[in-house]
Amino acid sequence: MPHPLITQSDIDTYQRDGVVLVKGLFADHIDALRAGVARNMAHPGPFASENEKAGESGRFFDDYCNWQSIPEFRQVIETSPAAEVAANLMQSESVQVFHDHVLVKEPGTSMATPWHTDGPYYFVEGRQNISFWSPLDPVSEATLRMVAGSHKWEKPVLPTRWVSEESFFPNEDDYMPIPDPDAEGMTVLEWAMEPGDAVAFNYDILHGARGNTSDIQRRAFSLRLVGDDARYVERPGRTSPPFPDHGMQTGQRLREDWFPVIWRAER
Ligand SMILES: O=C(O)CCC(=O)C(=O)O
């Protein structure tokens, strides 16, 4: 039986489309996540970025890989239903933490999150993976936008640097150019969401977000998890996140002392 927050139809949708809305995934953890974001912004980690782009107004803060030093994030990762829901949606017998990601757009932030897929930036491959993107403020205009089914496209989408739009790796020809889903008439999924709702999406789903022209903050917490078939893969340069000195080799499972298993199926 799936966790009560989801149905078999949600699992089928995730397997087919690579994206599904999970209402209330972090509903019991909103205060903890808000406190964690506040702690993160007060003490940014070594990879924090302000995404300052010429001509853009407002503030777009993002940071990742801090959950081990933010007790509120650790507690949510270890006690929320996210691990079990991830196992159900990925159809996996185990769930490992990959990393946390915080993305805050202050009111009046004009910069859009460019269309991208996360997979090519990461050093992990496999079908069983999931991100839960959860707003900690009510969100409509600045919600996440996704192209369903894009995780099954033949070629990966070119990873670029968000601010300069330059290619992230030197092997540009191995990727397809970044599509413009609005201009190309693709169906874009997006939901107005309440704090604690979550969009679950595969690492290879094309997604982006508008700026935040509203007069309230748009705080978002993304939790990235992997399942049974996740394996380390070498990329043609420093990945994002980089995890310096991880010491893994292509084909290995992610090391459990850095990427702990938070859920296993009962046998
Ligand atoms: O919050 C955003 O604007 C983008 C989030 C995103 O790209 C992600 O969580 O992978």
Position 196 in a domain? yes
Position 200 in a domain? yes
* Alpha-carbon gap, residue 77 to 65, rounded angstroms: 13
Is any ligand 1 atom within 6 A of the Cβ of residue 219? no
Q: How far is the CA of 204 from the centre of ligand 1 (A)?
A: 13
Task: Give the pLDDT confidence of 77-113 residue by residue, as tens digits.
Answer: 999 999 999 999 999 999 999 999 999 999 999 999 9
Q: Average pLDDT by consecutive 10-residue portion of the chain (267 residues)? A: 97 98 98 98 96 91 98 98 98 98 97 97 98 98 98 96 90 95 96 98 98 97 98 96 97 98 93
Residue nearest to atom 1 of ligand 1 (CA): 103
How would DSSP label each residue in 93-137? SEEEEEEEEEEEE-TTB-PPEEEE-SGGGSSEE-S-EEEEEEESS
pLDDT number for residue 162? 87
Q: Which residue has the tokens 């205009």?
A: 141
pLDDT number for residue 51? 87
Q: What's the 3-state SS for 142-179?
A: CCEEEECCHHHCCCCECCECCCCCCECCCCHHHCECCC
Position 123 in a domain? yes
Range of the domain at 142: 8-260
Position 265 in a domain? no
Which ligand 1 atom is at minimum distance from the Cα of 142? 3
Is any ligand 1 atom within 6 A of the Cβ of residue 137? no
Position 3 in a domain? no
- Helix, strand, coil % in the chain, rounded to nearest 5: 20, 25, 50
Which ligand 1 atom is at minimum distance from the Cα of 133? 9
Q: Structurally, how many domains does the chain consist of? A: 1
Q: What is the CATH number of the domain that holds 16?
A: 2.60.120.620
* Alpha-carbon gap, residue 21 to 7, rounded angstroms: 11
Is any ligand 1 atom within 6 A of the Cβ of residue 217? no
Position 266 in a domain? no
